Amino acid sequence: MSIRIGILGYGNLGKGVECAVMQNPDMELAAVFTRRAPESVQTLTEGVKVYSIEDAKNMTEQIDVMILCGGSATDLPEQTPVFGKLFNTVNSFDTHAKIPEHFAAVDAAAKGGKKVSIISVGWDPGMFSLNRLYANAILTDGVDYTFWGKGVSQGHSDAIRRIEGVKDGKQYTIPKEEALRAVRAGENPALTTREKHLRECFVVAEEGADQAKIEEAIKSMPNYFDEYDTIVHFISEEELKANHSGIPHGGFVIRSGKTGLHGENQHLIEYSLKLDSNPEFTASVLVAYARAAYRLAQEGACGCKTVFDIAPAYLSAKSPEELRSHLL
Amino acid sequence: MSIRIGILGYGNLGKGVECAVMQNPDMELAAVFTRRAPESVQTLTEGVKVYSIEDAKNMTEQIDVMILCGGSATDLPEQTPVFGKLFNTVNSFDTHAKIPEHFAAVDAAAKGGKKVSIISVGWDPGMFSLNRLYANAILTDGVDYTFWGKGVSQGHSDAIRRIEGVKDGKQYTIPKEEALRAVRAGENPALTTREKHLRECFVVAEEGADQAKIEEAIKSMPNYFDEYDTIVHFISEEELKANHSGIPHGGFVIRSGKTGLHGENQHLIEYSLKLDSNPEFTASVLVAYARAAYRLAQEGACGCKTVFDIAPAYLSAKSPEELRSHLL
């Protein structure tokens, strides 16, 4: 029997989950839930049942795992405890500083409903976190580095678009080559914000807008750009659409550490991602952890979990025997 | 209370475990067990108790986890079922093709003794296996690549040393740059053995030996060298000692895969290791999994496990709260 997946929230991430479920023959998409009028939602594939989010609570028997595809700012903190009581859930909550609080709220709800909820699934938090944990447990005497990019930051792109005179814009976060080189050489550099990443902006200005003023407004924007070397390009709307409509991302998690009687041997563990589509990759991670949530629930587990709490074998559709024979 | 570690087998790997235990304040080295005369064994650190391997069976109360540091050819297949019945154990069994058989033997023993044994811990099998599993579970439509090196292959170095006229020698396995480039570019190349790795040999010839004949013997050696591009350098004994006495290794695990409604988005997951000391890094992984074995046994688990079966949090000395706050 297939694992019946529900998608709650149908934006880029929800569409990514729809595609990812199709790549996993042990799963089926049971329903999409939306805050919009269901009849107004056009899904990527035909035959998908779309319901109002209000109907979800009456469909606990039809959904094995609900994948929550809302945003971390307001959607997930509200929705996860509510739906985590009714369903096994997976979310991609990514406000690092608020994870302990979110964990506590979801844990109480999931235990109350005897369900499994896995939070903060994706790549950072998610796969990057896993690699930080494994590398720290192995190389206890070492230094951690995380670099992001090259990729589109939605938050920074939004910030650019709020500036007066800006019609549209896209921001790329780019790790600095020299910083990566020094880390990989085992130099354990202490890197400032400016030394780690570069910010490159592609901006479409309104007709007649003062480009010099826009550039200055971007470069001096506190929290977003002022601590970085920022490059601003003004381009046409056509060029933005043609060359910058993707949502690529990626990054690097590196730990450099020492072993030996006198720390004489140096080691480098590096994990990197290069993603054409940030939401589709995140969706693929969510779907693998949905499998884990389903299996854990079948075993009688309940409560809130993170990627740290899940044995890797739970993610794979393959049997333990197959995994040992082919991937170990 | 510290986790009391026993080391069974005191070669390079056992010495690495001795060093790694010192880096982990929640552990202590309780004893070293050897097949040699215990009084003839000089440990790296002072005050280590060295016993005959025969004494181990009487010391089940003094050891929480026995780390088995013998070789995969004969030591581990014999020792793991024997000691896996008496102790929680961790080993680095690395004969990939025989893992299912080894798993079955160790599982029966560990269940019989109500202990936990974790097999095939290290980096390949081990961390590389984990990365293959995670990447496969996420990108279900993709291709896997594993490259080894640059690093010393003990098996190939031994093979060189068995050739007539060779006094000493060292072999490095080196991934080919062009192959790595094509994989990283998402070209999904079908690579032959020769296209993936290069073999570079540093050979000390006996005085008066025929170097041309040695070179030919190396390059044409079946299974070891004949399917590879092999470079042979003749050097002096002093040079070998000065520049080639380390045991570096490393490698790359890469999965290239597609997502999207029509597979239109490409993704690359890459994990790499660059290790100054292969045995010390392997030992560090063994020690992290010894912590997991101890905790699983405390929880009442028993039987044989692999890295696939262990939730990552078990490896870390940090609490779940700390992990969520600092590494997620």
pLDDT digits (tens, 9 = 90+) for A156-168: 999 999 999 999 9
Q: Find chain B residues with C-beta within 8 A of A136's C-beta.
A: 316, 327
The answer to whether the beta carbons of residues A79 and A109 sit under 8 Å apart is: no
Cβ distance of B100 and A324 shorter than 8 Å: yes
Specify the amino acid at residue A84: G
Please check whether residue B259 touches A, CB under 8 A.
yes
Kindly give the residue spans of alpha helices, DSSP state H, lying in A1-115. Answer: 12-22, 75-84, 99-112
| Gap from A209 CA to chain B (nearest CA, Å) | 36
Preceding amide of A219 cis, omega within 30:
no
Please check whether residue A183 touches B, CB under 8 A.
no
- Helix or strand run (H / E) with residue A7: strand A3-8
Kindly give the residue spans of alpha helices, DSSP state H, lying in chain A. Answer: 12-22, 75-84, 99-112, 127-138, 154-161, 177-184, 193-196, 211-219, 237-243, 278-298, 320-326
CB pairs under 8 A between A and B: 215
pLDDT at B1: 82
| Cα B251 from Cα A267, distance rounded (Å) | 12
Per-residue pLDDT of chain B (328 residues; tens, 9 = 90+): 899 999 999 999 999 999 999 999 999 999 999 999 999 999 999 999 999 999 999 999 999 999 999 999 999 999 999 999 999 999 999 999 999 999 999 999 999 999 999 999 999 999 999 999 999 999 999 999 999 999 999 999 999 999 999 999 999 999 999 999 999 999 999 999 999 999 999 999 999 999 999 999 999 999 999 999 999 999 999 999 999 999 999 999 999 999 999 999 999 999 999 999 999 999 999 999 999 999 999 999 999 999 999 999 999 999 999 999 999 9
Q: Find chain B residues with C-beta within 8 A of A277's C-beta.
A: 259-260, 265, 267
| Cα A19 from Cα A103, distance rounded (Å) | 28
Chain B 306-325, CB below 8 Å of chain A: which residues? 306-313, 315-317, 320-321, 323-325
Please check whether residue B24 touches A, CB under 8 A.
yes
Tell me the angle at which helices A12-22 and A278-298 cross, rounded to the nearest 10 degrees. 60
Does the ipTM exceed 0.95?
yes
Q: What is the pLDDT of residues A106-132, one digit of tens each?
A: 999 999 999 999 999 999 999 999 999
Closest Cα to residue A8, out of A75, A98, A96? A75
Q: What is the pLDDT of residues A220-262, one digit of tens each?
A: 999 999 999 999 999 999 999 999 999 999 999 999 999 999 9
Q: Find chain B residues with C-beta within 8 A of A140's C-beta.
A: 23-24, 284, 317
Specify the amino acid at residue A231: I
Q: pTM of the predicted model, to two decimals? A: 0.97
Chain A 195-234, CB below 8 Å of chain B: which residues? none
Cβ distance of B45 and A261 shorter than 8 Å: yes
Which chain B residue is nearest to residue A120, measuring alpha carbons? B328
The answer to whether the beta carbons of residues A259 and B281 sit under 8 Å apart is: yes
Which chain B residue is nearest to residue A273, measuring alpha carbons? B269
CA–chain centroid gap for A298, Å, is 26
Residues in chain A: 328
Please check whether residue A133 touches B, CB under 8 A.
yes
Cβ distance of A141 and B23 shorter than 8 Å: yes
Q: What is the pLDDT of residues A63-96, one digit of tens each?
A: 999 999 999 999 999 999 999 999 999 999 999 9
Which residue(s) pair with A27 in the sheet? A3
Please check whether residue B285 touches A, CB under 8 A.
yes
Give yes or no for residue A184 having a pLDDT over 90. yes
A1 — pLDDT class (breaks 50, 70, 90): confident
Q: Find chain A residues with C-beta within 8 A of B285's C-beta.
A: 138
